[in-house]
Amino acid sequence: MKTITLLFLSLTALATQAHASSPDAWAAYDKAVLTGCTKASGLKDAKPVGTAAQFDDRVGYTALLLQGQYPQKHMKGQQGTELCLYDKKAKTAYVTEWDSIRPTAKKP
């Protein structure tokens, strides 16, 4: 009886994990990350570059690279890049400028 109970508990745990990682759950999470990051961004028309980097749950963050235009007049519509870290538990996005990720133009 003990073995059957243990087996049942193990299968229940696996079923719960599978449900939590369903395609619909991932799609909803990806949408929350994108929405949170674009709202936190200071860039005009911010769009993701590639897909989000999913860190292990022990880290607690998802990273997303965004590109858009600087809204300040003096920037004259220059393209900018920001790194967004989305806190999985707090469901909060934090962004920082990360223009250094783009290659610089070579000088002749």
Q: Give the pLDDT confidence of 28-83 residue by residue, as tens digits.
A: 999 999 999 999 999 999 999 999 999 999 999 999 999 999 999 999 989 999 99
Q: Give the pLDDT confidence of 72-96 residue by residue, as tens digits.
A: 999 998 999 999 999 999 999 999 9
The 10 Å Cβ neighbour count of residue 38 is 20
Rounded to 5°, angle at Cα 73 from 108 and 76: 30
Question: Could you identify the residue written with the tokens 């600087």?
Answer: 70
- pTM, full prediction: 0.74
pLDDT at site 21: 80
